[in-house]
């Protein structure tokens, strides 16, 4: 017997932005009245032994900063399952391994997975690596290179403790936008695994190869290369310790069109988290990485060391049950290729409850030091916030105050910059009226010894209301968002003001 | 450095003296428990006590799957039981000889399931049942809502320059490395203020492995502390999220970057298809570089023609040529040399797409000058390989050799 479910959600809003002042070109808002509609449909059911689900979504707007297209399809996916067979079409996101396929395609996939048997899991995928649906039909505004992708993965679970996967992915560019676009023909092959030799200890890794050809294009000659990438991670996790060791080597010529890889990087990382007592946890770590693995970079090799140590302390003061503190020291050493820097980061954070108020205070000190006169500065930042949740009858009030400052002494420019910030907020919840809202206002003031000072004053109001009538029909919320920003600079021709009001309806069923 | 080593040694000594077996990475071989346990493909160790599951991440059968491997040390596993109502009722779970098992149930939207698992060995010993407790709820919201929730939290924490909150939304498995991203974001915060970010979703795709892909159109404005000037840009970028602790956390980002502009090469793993520019980046000195920046050329004391090369250099002169582009004080034109071609885009720089810029239709013949007004973008196609667009903010005029314009590479 056929069964089915259907859900829909929609958010429609209208925004009116007013931007004034001679510097209004710097605003990131679009002036005037604009609308935005986001619609999503989701359904599922079963028929003839197949279970299926689908989702489709769209966006409509006349604000070119919200989307260059007035009307666009945001998602389209159908999936059907029968026994061990799964077929997906539309938006297909099959994650193979990190270095081979970790990106979404527009196309189709098939997966065979017979749970409870020793048979391997097999996944095949074919499609186009387009960032959005409009690009698929080569819309002139969002057109991209045509990148055709195909992949196959076989994953075998050996005994519950060990699985291994073999992946092969091909990405071939079949059409360029302009003569300057170089076209890739890239193939990636990988073996990845996960092994749990004993409870609490996990080993995971991957070895991948790439075979890449970059076609000749206007102004550039054809290039081809082979590369490899490897990663290995060991994680020991059981109270009171969690220890992780990572090694990664991504060759200079390794290229993954559809995976995730930072090329030309060798990395070692160790991290140890240790619960010393129920109240105190220490974390220490060391990260090292370098580039120029093939030695061909004209500028030379850059090496980085990043050790760190931190402590998280619950109840540092026995008499204060809600107190908590975090202390950390981090160090960055970067040298080579004409650079030489040694930066120190110190940070202290303290949280507590003072009567009905929750407090959160952060103090940071950063020392930037370079031997190449790139950045020699001392910076101090301080932020503190107080917030409360007060119940008054059926209403809940949430007042808050934030204060912050940043001080920077730049030794190279021989100048001091200061930033002062404050904001006040008041949130309110009226559960009986199905109403929530927040008003926040504040100011950021940048004071520079040389260069433009700037002041930003801001005020923002948001309110969400679920009327009973609409709640009876479906799950709906009316909302209002209003904002005012006033930017003032020493060079007054840069000044501008933004006023923004948005009203909308969010509904789902 | 010596002090640091001494501190570390003291810490190790203190740890060794304490009654805590920090050196034991695995549990005792004789305990009863789970070698591994997954709930809807998320490791139980990594999931928090509350798990919110979205319909799109379930299979088409709508089932939550719990699978794992029970172990009992020297003894054999006697039974595996599961409770979905906080121990009020228990159900037996079938398991294989090696302890592996799988259990599925169909959740109802909005209902909270107090799930616990119990393993008993043949000698009657059981695991610490309370340690397995998870509260599982099936959200009625779509995966778009889940992506929006994750992105809203990241954008809000970044705009508020709250590093702790920002990192809470980043996966431990972040592909570019979480520690590198952390330092880069900290440097971003020292370099920028009044960060204003907005986005809308272009494309969302949920994968069977719990990962979610999101493509967005963004619009942002920042004030750069070094110069005190505002800079804004608009574009498209992509994120991948991991399912972790019942919510989505950032797994990878592509160029153009939204976060970690201070170490873009190491933070980003790849570039968005069609993106050929570098958007906003911050150099080692905290200066805004890349493209999408605002440039001012002041020749009020030394010239009448204001010259600019897209590599970033500028100069003052009394005649055109010997630069990529130049502005005249006596005419509202932008000059450009052969073989550069120019095109009037008839819209602001912030609204241009890469496809529009790279469409060769409408470009002039090489060399010449193009009439220019403020608020409109003019694109230059250089030497058959590069596209740069500029939007004048203020134009020079006779007696005032000063120009400000935005520039972005496509």
Tens of pLDDT, residue by residue over A393-445, are: 889 999 999 999 999 998 888 889 999 999 999 999 998 888 999 999 999 99
Residue A214 pLDDT: 86
User: Alpha carbon of A37 to those of A12, A447, A457, B226, B368: distances in Å?
Assistant: 4, 41, 30, 39, 44
Separation CA B63–CA A435 (nearest Å) = 35
Residue B289 pLDDT: 67
Q: Are strands A435-448 and A415-430 parallel, antiparallel or unpaired?
A: antiparallel
Residue range B319-341: average pLDDT? 91
- Torsion-angle region of residue A408: left (phi > 0), alpha (psi -120 to 50) or beta? beta
Residue range B85-105: average pLDDT? 90
| CATH code that applies to domain A83-263 | 2.40.160.10
Interface of A with B in 324-363 (CB under 8 A): 326, 330-332, 339, 341, 345, 349, 362
- Residues in B touching A331 (Cβ below 8 Å): 4
Of A26, A133, A345, the CB nearest to B203: A133
Residue B290 pLDDT: 60
> pTM, whole model, 2 decimals?
0.81
pLDDT at A51 over 50: yes
CATH topology of domain B33-139: Immunoglobulin-like (2.60.40)
Residue B6 pLDDT: 54
Separation CA A351–CA A322 (nearest Å) = 8
Residue B292 pLDDT: 62
User: Do the chains contact at A236 and B208, CB–CB below 8 Å?
Assistant: no
Instruction: Supply the mean pLDDT for chain B.
Output: 83
Residue B211 pLDDT: 86
Give B80-123 as a DSSP string.
EEEESBTTSS-EE--B-TTSEEEEEE-PPBT-EEEEEEEEEETT
- Residues in A touching B351 (Cβ below 8 Å): 64-65, 68
Among A199, A266, A334, which would you mutate to test the B interface (most chain B Cβ atoms within 10 Å of its Cβ)? Answer: A199
Distance from CA of B393 to the nearest CA of A (A): 7
Distance from CA of A284 to the nearest CA of B (A): 9
User: Do the chains contact at B18 and A276, CB–CB below 8 Å?
Assistant: yes
pLDDT tens readout for residues B367-400? 899 999 988 999 999 876 678 899 898 899 998 8
Query: Which range among A154-168, A489-503, B235-249 shows the weakest confidence by mean pLDDT?
Result: B235-249
Closest to A169 (Cα-Cα) out of A227, A95, A261, A224? A95
Domain coordinates of chain A in residue numbers?
83-263
Instruction: Give the CA radius of gyration of chain B.
Output: 29
User: Do the chains contact at B20 and A240, CB–CB below 8 Å?
Assistant: yes
User: Alpha carbon of A58 to those of A76, A352, A505, B147, B201: distances in Å?
Assistant: 9, 45, 16, 15, 10
Residue B110 pLDDT: 64
User: Alpha carbon of A136 to those of A17, A94, A119, A263: distances in Å?
Assistant: 33, 19, 36, 28
Q: Is A236 on the interface with B (CB under 8 A)?
A: yes
User: Do the chains contact at B265 and A308, CB–CB below 8 Å?
Assistant: no
Residue range A282-291: average pLDDT? 96
- Residues in A touching B175 (Cβ below 8 Å): 98, 102, 260-262
Of B35, B196, B205, the CB nearest to A77: B205
Domain coordinates of chain B in residue numbers?
33-139, 143-273, 293-409
Among B217, B220, B232, which would you mutate to test the A interface (most chain A Cβ atoms within 10 Å of its Cβ)? Answer: B217
pLDDT at B23 over 60: no
CA A275 to chain centre: 29
Q: Is A3 on the interface with B (CB under 8 A)?
A: no
Percent of chain B with pLDDT over 70: 84
Residue range A64-88: average pLDDT? 90
Among B16, B194, B235, which would you mutate to test the A interface (most chain A Cβ atoms within 10 Å of its Cβ)? Answer: B194
Residue A472 pLDDT: 64
Residue B208 pLDDT: 63
Of B140, B268, B284, the CB nearest to A341: B284
Separation CA A331–CA A308 (nearest Å) = 6
Residue A373 pLDDT: 79
Q: Are strands B50-54 and A241-250 parallel, antiparallel or unpaired?
A: unpaired
Q: Is A374 on the interface with B (CB under 8 A)?
A: yes
Q: Do domains B33-139 and B143-273 have the same CATH topology?
A: no
pLDDT tens readout for residues B255-308? 889 999 999 888 998 888 765 545 677 877 787 766 567 788 889 888 899 999
pLDDT tens readout for residues A119-163? 999 999 999 998 889 888 878 777 888 999 999 999 998 987 899
> Which residue matches tokens 């010259």?
B307
Query: Which range among A28-37, A48-57, B2-11 shows the weakest confidence by mean pLDDT?
Result: B2-11
Separation CA A272–CA A397 (nearest Å) = 42
C-beta of residue B63 within 8 angstroms of C-beta of residue B105: yes
User: How many inter-chain contacts (A to B, CB under 8 Å) are there?
Assistant: 354
pLDDT tens readout for residues B140-197? 667 788 899 999 999 999 999 999 999 999 998 899 899 999 999 999 999 999 999 9
pLDDT tens readout for residues A171-226? 999 887 777 777 899 999 999 999 988 878 899 999 999 999 988 876 667 888 89
**CATH number of B143-273: 3.40.50.10490, 3.10.450.50, 3.40.50.970, 3.40.1360.10?**
3.10.450.50
Separation CA A331–CA A157 (nearest Å) = 42
Buried/exposed A389-406: b ≥16 CB within 10 Å, e otherwise: eeeeeeeeeebbbbbbeb
> Which residue matches tokens 């121990």?
B87
User: Do the chains contact at A219 and B59, CB–CB below 8 Å?
Assistant: no
Residues B174, B175, B178, B179, Cα dihedral to 10°: 160
Separation CA A358–CA B196 (nearest Å) = 27
pLDDT at B401 over 80: yes
Separation CA A231–CA A464 (nearest Å) = 47
Residue range A97-122: average pLDDT? 91
Query: Which range among A165-169, B4-8, B149-153, B294-298 shows the weakest confidence by mean pLDDT?
Result: B4-8
Among B255, B355, B363, B386, which would you mutate to test the A interface (most chain A Cβ atoms within 10 Å of its Cβ)? Answer: B355
Separation CA A439–CA A481 (nearest Å) = 10
User: Do the chains contact at A115 and B29, CB–CB below 8 Å?
Assistant: no
> Which residue matches tokens 């790439």?
A210
Q: Is A94 on the interface with B (CB under 8 A)?
A: yes
Q: Is A71 on the interface with B (CB under 8 A)?
A: no
- Banded model confidence at residue B111, pLDDT cuts 50, 70, 90: confident
Percent of chain A with pLDDT over 70: 97
A138: tokens are 């080569």
pLDDT at A168 over 50: yes
- Residues in A touching B176 (Cβ below 8 Å): 260, 262
- Across the beta sheet with B134-139, what order do the strands follow? B50-54, B134-139, B112-121, B77-83, B91-92
Of B60, B265, B384, the CB nearest to A52: B60
pLDDT tens readout for residues A434-489? 899 999 999 999 999 888 899 999 999 999 998 877 666 666 889 999 999 999 99
pLDDT tens readout for residues A29-42? 989 999 999 999 98
Of A7, A276, A332, the CB nearest to B15: A276
- Torsion-angle region of residue B290: left (phi > 0), alpha (psi -120 to 50) or beta? left
* Main-chain phi, psi angles of A370, to 5 degrees: -130, 150
Residue B286 pLDDT: 80
- Banded model confidence at residue B356, pLDDT cuts 50, 70, 90: confident
Closest to A324 (Cα-Cα) out of A335, A334, A313? A313
Closest to A114 (Cα-Cα) out of A149, A69, A146, A157? A157
User: Do the chains contact at B384 and A141, CB–CB below 8 Å?
Assistant: no
CA B374 to chain centre: 33
* Main-chain phi, psi angles of A159, to 5 degrees: -150, 20
pLDDT tens readout for residues A59-74? 999 998 888 889 999 9
pLDDT tens readout for residues A337-360? 888 889 999 999 999 999 889 999
Residue range A95-121: average pLDDT? 90
- H-helix or E-strand spanning residue B168: helix B163-168
């Amino acid at each position: 017997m056929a069964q089915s479910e259907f859900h829909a959600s929609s958010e429609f809003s209208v925004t009116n932005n007013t931007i004034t002042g001679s510097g209004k070109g710097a605003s990131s808002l679009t002036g005037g009245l604009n609308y935005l509609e986001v619609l999503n449909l989701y359904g599922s059911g079963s028929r003839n032994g197949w279970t299926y689900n689908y989702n489709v979504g769209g966006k409509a707007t006349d604000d070119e900063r919200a989307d260059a297209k007035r009307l666009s399809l945001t998602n389209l996916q159908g999936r059907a399952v029968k026994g061990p067979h799964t077929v997906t079409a539309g938006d297909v996101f099959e994650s193979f391994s990190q270095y081979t396929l970790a990106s979404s395609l527009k196309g189709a996939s098939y997966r065979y997975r017979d749970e409870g048997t020793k048979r391997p899991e097999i996944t095949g995928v074919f499609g186009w690596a387009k960032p959005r649906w409009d690009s698929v039909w080569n819309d002139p505004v969002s057109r991209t290179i045509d990148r055709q992708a195909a992949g196959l993965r076989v994953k075998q679970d050996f005994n519950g403790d060990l699985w291994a996967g073999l992946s092969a992915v091909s990405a071939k560019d079949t059409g360029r936008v302009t003569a300057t676009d170089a076209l890739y023909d890239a193939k990636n092959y990988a073996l990845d695994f996960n092994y749990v030799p004993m409870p609490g200890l996990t080993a995971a890794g991957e070895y991948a190869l790439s075979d890449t050809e970059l076609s000749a294009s206007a102004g550039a000659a054809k290039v081809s290369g082979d590369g490899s990438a490897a990663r290995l991670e060991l994680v020991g996790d059981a109270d009171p310790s969690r220890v992780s060791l990572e090694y990664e080597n991504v060759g200079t010529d390794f290229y993954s069109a559809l995976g995730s890889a930072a090329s030309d990087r060798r990395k070692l990382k160790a991290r140890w988290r240790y619960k010393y007592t129920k109240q105190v946890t220490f974390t220490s770590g060391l990260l090292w990485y370098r580039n120029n693995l093939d030695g061909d970079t004209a500028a030379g090799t850059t090496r980085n060391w990043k050790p760190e140590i931190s402590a998280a302390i619950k109840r540092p003061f026995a008499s204060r049950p809600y107190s908590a503190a975090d202390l950390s020291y981090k160090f960055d050493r970067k040298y080579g290729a004409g650079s030489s820097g040694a930066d120190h980061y110190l940070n202290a954070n303290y949280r507590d409850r003072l009567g009905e108020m929750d407090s959160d205070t952060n103090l940071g000190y950063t020392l930037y030091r370079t031997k190449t006169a790139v950045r020699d500065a001392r910076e101090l930042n301080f932020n503190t916030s107080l917030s409360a949740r007060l119940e008054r009858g059926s209403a809940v009030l949430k007042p808050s105050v934030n204060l912050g400052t940043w001080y920077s002494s730049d030794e190279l420019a021989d100048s001091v910059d200061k930033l002062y910030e404050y904001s006040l907020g008041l949130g309110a919840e009226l559960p009986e009226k199905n109403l929530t809202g927040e008003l926040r206002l504040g100011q950021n003031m940048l004071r520079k010894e040389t260069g433009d000072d700037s002041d930003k004053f801001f005020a923002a109001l948001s309110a969400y209301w679920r009327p009973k009538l609409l709640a009876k029909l479906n799950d709906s919320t009316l909302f209002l968002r209003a904002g005012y920003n006033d930017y003032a600079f020493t060079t007054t021709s840069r000044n501008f003001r933004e006023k923004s009001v948005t009203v909308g309806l969010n509904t789902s069923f | 450095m010596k002090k640091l080593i001494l501190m570390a040694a003291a810490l190790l000594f203190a740890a060794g003296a304490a009654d805590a077996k920090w050196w034991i990475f695995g549990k005792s071989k004789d305990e009863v428990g789970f070698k591994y346990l997954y709930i809807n493909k998320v490791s139980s160790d990594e999931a928090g006590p509350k798990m919110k599951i979205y319909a799109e991440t379930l299979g088409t059968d709508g089932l939550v799957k719990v699978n794992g491997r029970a172990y009992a040390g020297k003894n054999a596993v006697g039974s595996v039981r599961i409770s979905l109502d906080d121990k009020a009722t228990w159900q037996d779970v079938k398991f294989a000889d090696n302890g592996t098992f799988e259990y599925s149930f169909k959740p109802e939207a909005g209902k909270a399931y107090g799930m616990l698992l119990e393993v008993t060995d043949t000698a009657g010993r059981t695991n610490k049942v309370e340690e397995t407790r998870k509260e599982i709820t099936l959200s009625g919201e779509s995966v778009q809502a889940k992506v929006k929730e994750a992105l809203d939290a990241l954008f809000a924490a970044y705009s508020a320059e709250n590093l702790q909150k920002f990192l809470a939304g980043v996966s431990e498995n972040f592909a570019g490395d979480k520690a590198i991203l952390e330092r880069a974001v900290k440097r971003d915060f020292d370099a920028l203020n009044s960060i204003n970010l907005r986005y809308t979703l272009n494309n969302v795709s949920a994968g069977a492995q719990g990962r979610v892909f999101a493509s967005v159109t963004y619009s942002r404005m920042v004030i750069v502390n070094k110069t005190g000037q505002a800079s804004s840009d608009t574009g498209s970028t992509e994120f991948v999220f991991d399912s972790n602790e019942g919510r989505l956390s950032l797994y990878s980002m592509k160029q153009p970057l939204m976060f970690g502009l201070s170490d873009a090469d190491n933070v980003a793993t790849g570039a968005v298809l069609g993106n050929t520019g570098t958007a906003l980046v911050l150099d080692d000195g905290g200066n805004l570089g890349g493209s999408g920046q605002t440039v001012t050329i002041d020749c009020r004391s030394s010239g009448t023609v204001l010259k600019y090369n897209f590599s970033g250099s500028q100069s003052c002169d009394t005649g055109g040529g010997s630069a990529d582009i130049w502005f005249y004080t006596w005419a509202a034109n932008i000059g450009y040399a052969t073989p550069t071609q120019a095109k009037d885009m008839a819209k602001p720089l912030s609204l241009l797409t890469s496809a529009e810029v790279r469409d060769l239709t409408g470009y002039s013949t090489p060399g010449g000058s193009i009439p220019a007004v403020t608020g409109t973008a003019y694109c230059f196609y250089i030497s058959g390989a590069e596209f740069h667009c500029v939007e004048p903010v203020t134009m020079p005029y006779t007696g005032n050799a000063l120009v400000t314009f935005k520039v972005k590479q496509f």
